[in-house]
């Protein structure tokens, strides 16, 4: 009998156990479409156990032990793949003391290792997960209400403001674009805004901590919360966007992936209407709004997204089920 992965296209997802990558792996396995190579740094760490429980994982998910800084380990994971989703990159929850080592090296050298391995393995297309952090950290953004793919964060400004995460994403995406130009490798980059949604993984990732802080349940809701427009997207819609940009032959260049621009106080008020019994912040202080990101280019490719209400409902239910909110 043939193995269940026979005849299926094989794709690789780096950093498979993380928040976004777990949903992407789930999406790729569901419907039986793909065989997936998922890279994790430690396959024996229980924080990656949820991957083995995904539908189809037994037959079509192979975990590879790989650090993106270790070229040989990446080569083994991408061998035989038609496409690679490069998701792995550090997303720290607090300021780094050693950004060159903790952030910039894994983001930049890690991305180049993945791209080089893909080129040598003859991978057809690589989707690189960048961030709006590579788009809007720039004091000289063009005038106008919406920010689009023509905007880039200013590396010097990121350095002087010690915004190491956004610097790491900007440098990594620029390197990816330039590698694609030099070599002809088909690279598409996707720049998500702040990602919320239900958790598949057992740990709480950094962007989910933002929403948990907004809801401020553990703190009893007594402190004033900064209020501003934030751009957000559901992790499941982002996973759709990543698959769409991989599958659609017309996908090209850079795509902002952001669904809603809403004030933090509006987000809290939607959650309050769904779960009136939790403890929410009662006072808000208006601070500078974020500009609104345009995902028109991605929508033209066919991307659709769920409502803010559905995202928040499912997200908060997942937090309650995990005992994060009570
Ligand atoms: N969440 C957001 O709001 C958001 C928004 C825009 C862009 N992004 C981007 O989306 C990607 C995934 O983020 P996430 O939110 O899903 O965060 P996450 O859950 O923290 O996932 C990050 C992943 O990167 C892996 N990683 C870090 N350094 C690595 C290395 N040297 N070698 C191999 N793997 C390494 C981590 O593996 P370990 O488990 O081994 O540490 C983890 O699987 C990142 O590129 C991030 O910049 C996220």
pLDDT band per the 50, 70, 90 thresholds, residue 55: very high
Span 255-261, mean pLDDT?
97
Mutate to test the pocket of ligand 1, among 64, 72, 87 (most ligand atoms within 8 A of CB): 87
CA of 229 to the centre of ligand 1 (A): 24
For ligand 1, whether the C-beta of 91 sits within 6 Å is yes
Atom of ligand 1 nearest to the CA of 194: 3
Atom of ligand 1 nearest to the CA of 42: 40
Q: Which residues lie closer than 8 Å to 148 by C-beta, 6 or more apart?
A: 256, 293, 294, 296, 297
CA of 144 to the centre of ligand 1 (A): 31
Atom of ligand 1 nearest to the CA of 129: 45
- Please name the residue whose Cα sits nearest to atom 37 of ligand 1: 15
For ligand 1, whether the C-beta of 4 sits within 6 Å is no
CA 313 to chain centre: 20
Task: Note the pLDDT tens digit of each residue in 130-170.
Answer: 999 999 999 999 877 789 999 999 999 999 999 999 999 99
pLDDT at 31: 75
CA of 88 to the centre of ligand 1 (A): 5
Look up residue 249 and give its DSSP letter.
T
CA of 323 to the centre of ligand 1 (A): 23
CA of 282 to the centre of ligand 1 (A): 32
For ligand 1, whether the C-beta of 205 sits within 6 Å is yes
For ligand 1, whether the C-beta of 203 sits within 6 Å is no
The CA-based angle 268-158-115, given to 5 degrees, is 95
For ligand 1, whether the C-beta of 74 sits within 6 Å is no
**Residue spans of alpha helices (H) in the chain:** 19-29, 49-52, 57-60, 71-78, 99, 110-121, 155-160, 164-183, 206-215, 235-247, 264-274, 296-300, 308-321
Task: Assess whether pLDDT exceeds 90 at residue 312.
Answer: yes
Q: What is the pTM of this model?
A: 0.96
For ligand 1, whether the C-beta of 88 sits within 6 Å is yes
Identified catalytic residue from 9, 47, 95, 169: 169
pLDDT band per the 50, 70, 90 thresholds, residue 208: very high
Mean pLDDT of the chain, nearest integer: 94
- From residue 116, how far is each of 75, 88, 209 by CA, in Å? 9, 15, 34
For ligand 1, whether the C-beta of 68 sits within 6 Å is yes
CA of 76 to the centre of ligand 1 (A): 20
Task: Note the pLDDT tens digit of each residue in 60-97.
Answer: 999 999 999 999 999 999 999 999 999 999 999 999 99
Look up residue 79 and give its DSSP letter.
T
Is 88 exposed, middle or buried (CB count within 10 Å of its CB: 0-12, 13-18, 19+)?
A: buried
> What torsion do the CA atoms of 157, 158, 159, 160 make, to the nearest 10 degrees?
50
Alpha-carbon torsion 148, 150, 151, 153, what sign?
positive
Count helices and strands in the chain by DSSP H and E runs: 13, 14
Atom of ligand 1 nearest to the CA of 22: 16
Task: Note the pLDDT tens digit of each residue in 2-34.
Answer: 555 556 799 999 999 999 999 999 999 997 689
CA nearest neighbour of 6 among 30, 26, 36, 35:
35
**Residue 9 among the catalytic residues:** no
pLDDT at 219: 54
Pair 40, 50: CB distance under 8 Å: no
**Using CA atoms, how far apart are residues 78 and 54, in angstroms rounded to an integer?**
21
CA nearest neighbour of 187 among 127, 244, 124, 243:
127
In a 3-state reduction of DSSP, which class is residue 216?
coil
What the block records as the tokens of 96 is 């780094």
Give percent of the chain with pLDDT exceeding 70.
95
């Amino acid at each position: 009998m043939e193995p269940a992965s026979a005849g299926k296209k094989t794709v690789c997802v780096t950093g498979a156990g993380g928040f976004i990558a777990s949903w992407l792996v789930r999406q790729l396995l569901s419907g039986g479409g793909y065989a997936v190579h998922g890279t994790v740094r430690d396959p024996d760490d229980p924080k990656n156990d949820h991957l083995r429980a995904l539908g189809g994982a037994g037959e079509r998910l192979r975990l590879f032990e790989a650090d993106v800084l270790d070229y040989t380990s990446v080569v083994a994971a991408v061998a035989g793949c038609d496409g690679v989703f490069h998701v792995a990159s550090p997303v720290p929850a607090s300021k780094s003391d050693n950004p060159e080592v903790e952030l910039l090296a894994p983001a930049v050298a890690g991305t180049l290792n993945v791209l080089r391995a893909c080129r040598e393995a003859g991978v057809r297309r690589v989707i690189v997960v960048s961030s709006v952090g590579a788009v809007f950290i720039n004091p000289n953004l063009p005038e106008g209400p919406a920010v689009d793919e023509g905007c880039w964060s200013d590396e010097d400004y990121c350095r002087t403001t010690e915004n190491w995460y956004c610097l790491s994403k900007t440098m990594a995406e620029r390197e990816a674009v330039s590698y694609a130009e030099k070599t002809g490798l088909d690279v598409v980059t996707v720049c998500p805004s702040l990602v919320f949604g239900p958790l598949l993984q057992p740990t709480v990732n950094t962007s989910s901590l933002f929403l948990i802080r907004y809801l401020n349940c553990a703190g009893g809701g007594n402190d004033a919360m900064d209020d501003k427009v934030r751009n957000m997207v559901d992790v499941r819609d982002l996973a759709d966007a990543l698959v769409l940009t991989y599958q659609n032959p017309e996908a090209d260049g850079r795509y902002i992936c952001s669904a809603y621009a809403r004030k933090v106080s509006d987000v809290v008020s939607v959650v309050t209407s769904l779960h009136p019994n939790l403890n929410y912040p009662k006072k808000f202080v208006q601070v500078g709004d974020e500009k609104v990101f345009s995902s028109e280019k991605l929508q033209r490719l066919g991307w659709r997204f769920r409502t803010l209400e559905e995202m928040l409902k499912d997200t908060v239910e997942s937090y309650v089920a995990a005992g994060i909110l009570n």
